[in-house]
Amino acid sequence: MTFPLAKRLAAECCEGKLVAALEGGYNLEAIANSGAAVIEEMGREADERIEAASGGERVQPIIERARKGVGQYWNL
């Protein structure tokens, strides 16, 4: 679910309230960056244009390793 949709649903169903939970980890820099990204997205207006992210090629190998690791449990 995208944040604009979640924000619209929150406005309709629960007076605009949203909750976000970040799962922990051992890389403090990654946790801080993830938290900042969530806060930034939640702060956008629902109709604000979202620019394409850059630097995705750096994270692709990490996503692929994670996909292989959980693939035995989940159909991804």
Half-sphere exposure of 6 (CA within 13 A, CB side): 12
Residue 51 reports pLDDT greater than 80:
no
Q: Give, in order, the Cα–Cα distances in Å from 65 to each of 9, 11, 69.
A: 33, 37, 6
Sorted by where each begins, the domain ranges of the chain are: 3-70
Please give the mean pLDDT across all residues of the chain. Answer: 77
Residue 40 reports pLDDT greater than 70:
yes
Which pTM was predicted? 0.46
Q: Give mean pLDDT, residues 39-60.
A: 69
Residue 6 reports pLDDT greater than 70:
yes
